[in-house]
Amino acid sequence: MSAPEASIVIATYNRPDSLLRILGEIEKQTVAADRFEVVVVDDGSKEEVAPRLGAFANRLALTVKRQQNGGAAAARQHGAEIARGTLLVFVDDDMVLPPEFLESHLSRHLGPTAKKNVVMGRLRADQKLADMPLFERFYALMLDRIAGEVQAGTFDLRGPSLYTGNLSLRRDLFFAAGGFDTSFGQIEDAELGVRLEKLGASFILSEEAYTVHASDHTSRDRWFARTVKDGKFWTRLSRKHPEAVHANPWRHLTAVNPLSRPVLALVVALPKLALPMAKTAFAASQAADSLGLGRIAVAGTTLVYGIQYFQGVRSETGSLGDVFREYRAFRKGVKELQNAESAHHASLMEAVRADHAMLAKTQGKYGGKDGSSRSLAADAVNNIGFQLLILYRVMRAFRESGQGLAAKFCSRLLRHLYGSDIHWDATFEPGVVVVHGFGMAISGEAYVSEGCILFQHVTLGRGNHADTKKAGAPRLERDVHVGVGATLIGPIVVGTRTKIMPGCTLTHDVPPNTVVTSPEPELRARKAAPPEVKTH
């Protein structure tokens, strides 16, 4: 019997009605039922779920296994080990699935370049958002904010952002990373994400593969306890992966609102104050919410989360002396990434020198002078395009070293100083020239090879290929020149040594050694001006 294309893995615990609903939604998927299987792992529910699922046995390729209660990580790991599909699709048992859910996930794993794709479907909040407890609205709004920042290119989706509520990846990639660490009682998905990142996985947020997350209306005290566990397990994750500075819990202490820092520092120093402080802050947030002050209520709930989170961090870290040692280690790790001996700093300088060498070569060829006569420092001061490239390189270096806030700052500088929107995932090989650089729009999927020259107001945008309809952004091979105001859309390939003249719009591939021109503008005489009427 051949393996199915996909295995939908559902870990369930004490939600039989929700499980029946989601299986009904899986029946209505646009993908034929013989292309996938469903694996349900009952994590020791009070009521065994298998007897209630008999009606689905003839309509779905359904496997149901029951285990002693071992937690979500153990249940999902068990499901992955049973699964036979090439693709693993994890979904929580309280999600609502649209008919195109599975098809949207499958579409993100097509082609040889997609073997390391890790796709997180968008988690949309229940339409009854106003009826949710305040802390669930806080989570929903946080997820919406992150999704918006990912779309805008201001949030770097990396391993620690991984969640298993709506996730797909190849089975061989999952096991190459080692699967879930079942010793993690929470955030086992983020810990797996760190290991997947080390394997070179590409993390994607898919709007099309969305699910709706229904509220479970949990209690305040249960949420408080879960938040403390978050802090504990993020601390364990950091100890397991000390090199992953971008996953270190102490990073939040420097990133939060400055007004919150003294409160969180007090919690770290005196953890016994955490619970009464959290209860007081949450009561104030609920009062603000009842008065219609939603933004203040959510801000207060964010502080409550931070109080409980750092109570967990302190509990897992140990004594106050241990806290200082771990925080110093975190700061040391950050400085190590930024110092002149680090690999990120070395690759940054290598790329900047290559850009300057290409600039000197271009000036020598087109400027009628010896381009090499200017120093790198002089061009960094006088050449606007070179300045923009340096800022882009710094932004990339910060992103790759896990310094998200610094990368965001550089991204905003690019917009404000040069009016250019260059996504931090866009790839510019070392040895590129930007002329002037104002008004550029470069997608995160764009690829610019060595020797390319880009003029101002160039767009390399994401879209659909005119022929294949595949979505993506342009790839420029070596020594491509793109003139002022040219617009290139979709995953087109522009062959080496091609010149694209100003004002061109391209949605098709261009072969090597081509000159692309736009139609000549029409010139025609203006109508004669009417005779001047003199008035007396």
Nearest residue to 480 via CA among 462, 505, 455: 455
Q: Quick check: 22 and 93 in contact, CB under 8 A?
A: yes
- Indicate the residue among 307, 337, 367 that finishes a domain: 337
Q: Which of 171, 187, 215 is the last residue of a domain?
A: 215
Q: Is residue 487 in a domain?
A: yes
Q: Which three-class secondary structure state does DSSP give residue 532? A: coil
Task: Looking at the structure, tell me whether residues 257 and 237 fall in a common domain.
Answer: yes
With a CB cutoff of 8 Å and minimum separation 6, the contacts of 227 are: 304, 305, 308, 309, 312
Measured over the CA atoms of residue 217, residue 221, residue 224 and residue 228, the dihedral's sign is negative
Is 358 found in the same domain as 305? no
Residue 184 shares a structural domain with residue 239? no
Q: What is the DSSP letter of 510?
A: B
Sheet with 95-96: strands ordered across: 62-66, 36-42, 6-12, 87-91, 166-170, 117-125, 202-213, 95-96
> 244 with 202, same domain?
no
What is the identity of the amino acid at 245? V
Amino acid 536: pLDDT:
55
* Closest by Cα among 111, 113, 101 to 168: 101
Classify residue 376 as exposed, middle or buried by CB count within 10 Å of its CB (0-12, 13-18, 19+). middle
Domain membership of residue 107 as a residue range: 1-215
Write out 400-437 in H/E/C secondary structure. HCCCHHHHHHHHHHHHHHHCCEECCCCEECCCCEECCC
Report the C-alpha gap between 497 and 382 in whole angstroms. Answer: 28
Q: What integer pLDDT is reported at residue 381 of this predicted model?
A: 76
Question: What CATH number corresponds to the domain at position 455?
Answer: 2.160.10.10
C-alpha 416/C-alpha 356 separation (Å) is 24
Q: What is the CA radius of gyration of the chain?
A: 27
Q: How do beta strands 166-170 and 117-125 pair?
A: antiparallel
Query: What was the pLDDT predicted at 21?
Result: 94
Cα distance between residue 430 and residue 446, in whole Å: 15
> Among 301, 321, 337, which residue terminates a domain?
337
Within a domain: residue 528?
A: no
Would residue 535 count as lying in a domain?
no
Query: Which tokens sit at 511?
Result: 């072969």
Task: State the Cα–Cα distance between residues 121 and 513, nearest whole angstrom.
Answer: 41
Taking the chain (536 residues) in consecutive chunks of 10 residues, what is each chunk's mean pLDDT? 91 93 96 96 94 89 94 95 97 95 96 92 78 77 83 83 95 96 93 94 94 76 90 90 82 73 81 88 85 81 88 85 66 57 73 92 68 68 87 83 70 83 92 92 94 96 88 95 95 96 94 92 79 63
Do 199 and 264 share a structural domain? no
The Cα 81–Cα 256 span in angstroms is 40
* Residue 530 counted as domain residue: no
Dist. CA 333–CA 243, nearest whole Å: 7
Strands 202-213 and 95-96: antiparallel
CA–CA distance, 62 with 100 (Å, rounded to integer):
20
Residue 282 and residue 299 share a domain: yes
Do 5 and 83 reside in the same domain of the chain? yes
What is the C-alpha separation between 94 and 21, in angstroms, rounded? Answer: 9
Q: How many CB atoms lie within 10 A of CB 343?
A: 11
Asked if residue 470 belongs to a domain, the reply is: yes
Q: How far apart are CA 191 and CA 188, in angstroms?
A: 5
Q: Same domain, yes or no, for 125 and 53?
A: yes
* The dihedral sign for the CA sequence 377, 383, 384, 390: negative
Query: How many alpha carbons fall within 13 Å on the CB side of residue 444?
Result: 18
423 and 448 part of one domain: yes
Compute CA 254 distance to the chain's CA centroid, rounded to the nearest angstrom.
Answer: 21
Burial (CB count within 10 angstroms: exposed 0-12, middle 13-18, buried 19+), residue 523: exposed
Rounded to whole angstroms, the Cα distance separating 89 from 165 reads: 10
Are 325 and 383 found together in one domain? Answer: no
Exposed / middle / buried, residue 74 (Cβ in 10 Å: 0-12, 13-18, 19+) = buried
Question: 51 and 189, same structural domain?
Answer: yes
The total number of structural domains in the chain stands at: 3
| Per-residue H/E/C for 173-224 | HHHHCCCCCCCCCCCHHHHHHHHHHHCCCEEEEEEEEEEEECCCCCCHHHHH
C-alpha 475: how far from chain center: 21
Half-sphere exposure of 254 (CA within 13 A, CB side): 15
Indicate if 207 and 329 belong to the same structural domain. Answer: no
Residue 494 identity: V
CB neighbours of 281 closer than 8 A, spacing ≥ 6?
300, 303, 304, 307
Torsion sign (Cα): 467, 468, 473, 474: negative
